[in-house]
Structure 1
Amino acid sequence: MNALSIAIVVFSSLLVVLTILPCFKSRVWWVRIWDFPRSQLATLLGIALLMQLTWLPPLQPGANAFPYWPLWLGITTFASLLYQLWWIMPYTPLWRKEVRWADAHEHGPRLKLMSANVLTPNRNTQALIALVQQHRPDILVTLETDAWWQQQLQPLEADYPFRMACPLDNLYGMHVYSRLPLSEMQTQFLVEDDVPSMHASLTLVKDLQVRVHFLHPAPPSPTENAESTERDIELLMLAKSLEKEEGPAIVAGDLNDVAWSPTTRLFRKLSGLLDPRVGRSLVNTFHAEHWFARWPLDHFFHSDHFELVHIARLPSIGSDHFPVMVELQYHPHNAAQQEGLQATPEDKQEAKETLQEHGAQASDVPEPTAQEQKNV
């Protein structure tokens, strides 16, 4: 075997190992981190497969002790490629749309939300203010905003009279600015003492209140949490809290988890919330500076009371995240037309055991009022 063949074998084998690694349910960061770059791994696996077909020697039975090794390497590489594509294909136009497009002939109330992880050291406040003035979202949620950012964003306050503020200098500060009335507002530290979440009831129009939750749990990483436990617990707590909610609900924020991960999928199964990206696109928001290493970390999930008008990644504001915006239209009769992931008894048991193991309770999550519009 020559040096090129050895390099191809090592390259392909490494990609296969990185594909298998997240299959283990370990929560340590160096396992869970490989949930993120599935599109990148799929691309590399495709390249590895082409390299094998182009440069590896043909099968030579009897020539050595392992005459069929190129075939087996090709099969495992191809299987790994298919497995990676299985995770990301739902976030392409090839998949069935989970959320319907809003009908232009209907006139249900609309809600436009913008989420921006600003990166605390970033000082390009004018870029964010300009985007807000251009798109005029009904709700702006900012993440990683400290007291300096709060002061710099004061020009927005005249147009956003309803606000929630938790300025922190630990990269987990959070602010919510709303044109529409907010009530039952609570800022909670559900899992970690320095990582807030925000919860409120939003009055979209008269007699229509939407339960809203904004999150930014810490990621599994060598510089943050050694495991994904804290993030996973916070998502499961909220999912269980939403499990029996029959009114309109929206969850938004930087979840420090990709849309296709087992944790986020379990969150969607238990909460019953829909993902408007399914059947459309990935809407990759991180990392803004590295085109080759991007994945969807910033999310909008909603109940089936809404249809999609528009979802888009917005231009860079100097952060490591792109801002993202979604516009939804209230349409209360979608239960039979929009269907997301369904929880199995095993999913519910897994969530129950995980919460019990860590002494977490869904009852600790605020449950603001959600009320459907009457006579619709």
Structure 2
Amino acid sequence: MLSILPAMLAIALLAATLIARSPLTWWWIRACEFPRLQIAALAVLTALLALAAEPPWSWLALAASLATLGLQAARILPWTPLWPVQVQRAEPGQEPRCVTLLIANVLTTNRNAETLIRLIHEHRPDLVLTLESDAWWQARLDAALGDGWPHAVRVPLDNLYGMHLYARRRLVDPEVRWLIQEDIPSIHTGITLPSGDVIRLHALHPRPPAPNESEESLWRDAELLLVGRAIHEDPVPTLVAGDLNDVAWSRTTRLFCRVSGMLDPRRGRGMFSTFHADYPLLRWPLDHVFSSEHFTLARLRRLPHIGSDHFPMLVTLCYRPSRADEHETPEADREERRDARETIAEGRERDQAG
């Protein structure tokens, strides 16, 4: 029996790995994309246990473990320092062309606003994007940031999808849109840099695929791909930021990057896992900042715990269009663009049907 257990566990890990490759949108299938690092670690453990088992179970356990490890490594290695960076490092002296963004999913029920406000005043980012922020959070943020961050877009909601954007720089034509679902907002605005250049920001927080949220990932996927398609059709200098309720290496996020041409500054640098802040062994990168090829990276940090289930992120990107050709911009093929169109159309139709 002890010889069979490693084989059974190894087969279960391999099954979860293969299920994640399915294009189906059921939440439990998409959930298999999240713990890739954890599954890989368990595969190493089952491979070691296989050495103590008896044939033929030891052979089966070892083969399944190595297959799992190889498949998982292929997905997660790009988000480690073992991989080439995707966004090039910024050179000194570009401060007037740089923008610093602090993004924080505050957790609506979290009442530890002082810690976040202290971090904001310590780092003085140009933009502060909060997610899950309701009227209580708005009152605290308005009082603390009103003088230093005079430009704001406020969407206080008590459904876990409120969002607020505070800016030290002038916002150009800011608007709130409800892209796919009528209770899920997003913020879209131009941002004026000290140099006078104007860049674009899309702030998103789509609904996650989870039993208590959504039985499928369809609507999350449709929102991401809808924004990705808009970026492709209007390729101005652009940032996308938010809690996307998806991991960096997922099928949907990778398709979003190819459809939009956006780059991930974490690639080649690390995972910067932001959720879950309270469980070190169960963390993955849910909070994202993507940039178009017009930007280089000056700083990327995960900030300390603020009482939320997410860590905040701090990112400084510099607008350097003259270095755009240094980046290898992802690009979708015809089949991927068709898949994106179909996902967007189905998300809209099924949402409207209720």
- TM-score, length of structure 2 as denominator length: 0.95
Secondary structure of 1:100's aligned partner: coil
Aligned residue among 113, 120, 125 for 2:101: 113
Q: Choose from 91, 114, 117 the match for 1:126.
A: 114
Structure 1 position 359, deviation (Å) = 4.1
In percent, how many aligned pairs have the same letter? 44
- Is it true that 1:179 corresponds to 2:177 in the alignment? no
**1:278 to partner: Cα distance:** 0.4
For 1:272 and 1:189, locate their aligned partners in 2 and report how far apart those are by CA, in whole Å.
23
Identify the match of residue 38 of structure 1 among 27, 36, 39: 36
> Secondary structure of 2:321's match?
coil
Aligned to 1:367: none
Amino acid at match of 2:292: S
In 1: Cα distance, 2:221 partner to 2:330 partner: 18
* Residue aligning to 2:341: 352
Aligned to 2:151: 162
Question: 2 CA distance for matches of 1:289 and 1:90?
Answer: 25
Q: Which amino acid aligns with 1:169?
A: D
> Which consecutive residues of structure 2, in runs of 5 or more, have no partner in the other structure?
350-354
Gaps of 5+ in 1: 60-67, 361-376
Q: 1:324 aligns with which of 302, 309, 313?
A: 313
* d(CA) in 2 for partners of 1:235, 1:97: 23
Structure 2 match to 1:84: 72
Deviations 1:98-130 (A, max 9, x none): 011111255651110000000000000000000
Q: 1:207 Cα deviation (Å)?
A: 4.0
Q: Counterparts of 1:269 and 1:98 in 2: how far apart (Å)?
A: 13
- Quote the offset at 1:16 in angstroms: 1.2
Residue 194 of structure 1 and its aligned partner are, at CA, apart by 1.1
Q: What is the one-letter code of the residue matched to 1:16?
A: L
Going from structure 1 to structure 2, the CA distance change for 1:155 and 1:357 (only over 3 Å counts) comes to: closer
SS of residue in 1 equivalent to 2:69: helix
**Structure 1 residue ranges, 4+ long, deviating more than 6 angstroms after superposition:** none
Q: Which amino acid aligns with 1:341?
A: P
Aligned partners of 2:271 and 2:329: how far apart in 1? 17
Instruction: Tell me the distance in 2 between the aligned counterparts of 1:219 and 1:107.
Output: 36
Equivalent residue in structure 2 for 1:148, among 136, 140, 164: 136
Asked whether the equivalents of residues 178 and 185 of structure 2 are also in contact (C-alpha less than 8 Å), the reply is yes
Q: Report deviation, 1:21.
A: 1.1
Partner of residue 307 from structure 1, selected from 292, 296, 304: 296
Residue in structure 2 matched with residue 56 of structure 1 by the alignment: 53
Partners in 2 of 1:340 and 1:129 — Cα distance?
36
Shift, 1:248, TM fit = 0.8
Secondary structure of the equivalent of 1:121? coil
Contact 1:108–1:331 (8 Å) recurs in 2: no
Q: Distance in 1 between matches of 2:94 and 2:153?
A: 32
User: More displaced, 280-289 or 9-18?
Assistant: 9-18
Distance 1:106 1:160 in 2: 22
Aligned to 1:232: 221
Task: Determine helix, strand or coil for the equivalent of 1:336.
Answer: helix
1:283-323 deviations in Å (ceiling 9; x for gaps): 00000000000000000001111100010100000000000
State the 1:246 CA deviation: 3.0
Q: Normalising by structure 1, what TM-score?
A: 0.90
Is the 2:3–2:57 contact (alpha carbons within 8 Å) kept by the matching residues of 1?
Answer: no
Q: Residues 232 and 263 of structure 1 are in contact (CA less than 8 Å); yes or no, is this contact kept in structure 2? A: yes
Q: How does 1:129-278 map to 2 (within 5 A)?
A: 129-153=117-141, 154-278=143-267
Equivalent position SS for 2:20: helix
Could you tell me whether the CA contact under 8 Å between 1:108 and 1:330 is conserved in 2? Answer: no
Matches of 1:92 and 1:295, distance apart in 2: 13
Conserved in 1, the CA contact under 8 Å of 2:3 and 2:58? Answer: no
Match of 2:352 in 1: none
Output the amino acid matched with 2:206.
P
Q: Distance in 2 between matches of 1:287 and 1:334?
A: 36
| SS in structure 1 at match of 2:242 | strand
Counterpart position of 2:17? 19
How far, CA to CA, are the matches of 2:45 and 2:119 in structure 1?
A: 38
Report how many residues are paired. Answer: 348
Greater C-alpha Rg: 1
